[in-house]
Amino acid sequence: MEKFEYKTLFSDAKGIFGGKVDKLTFQNELNELGSQGWELVNTVATAQSYGSTRWIISIFKRRIQ
């Protein structure tokens, strides 16, 4: 039976009203975790007032050996 471990990455959507994500930083964070063997499973944007994004939560998994 395969076993996995999980990790969450919280990326801040900056700005007074939220919704501003540094694309290069976000991509670099994803690539760094990918190089460590983490596989991206899902990404969810959380809302704050007026529907602006506050956080982007990325969920990763990797096999435990």
User: Does the global pTM surpass 0.85?
Assistant: no
The C-alpha atoms of residue 31 and residue 28 are separated, in whole angstroms, by 5
How much is the pLDDT for 49?
Answer: 72
How much is the pLDDT for 54?
Answer: 83
Q: How many domains does the chain have?
A: 1
How much is the pLDDT for 4?
Answer: 97
pLDDT along the chain (65 residues), means of 10: 96 74 91 97 86 87 94
Place of tokens 């964070």: 29
Task: Write out the residue range of the structural domain in which residue 9 sits.
Answer: 3-64
Q: Which residues contact 12 (CB under 8 A, 6 or more apart)?
A: 54, 55
How much is the pLDDT for 45?
Answer: 87
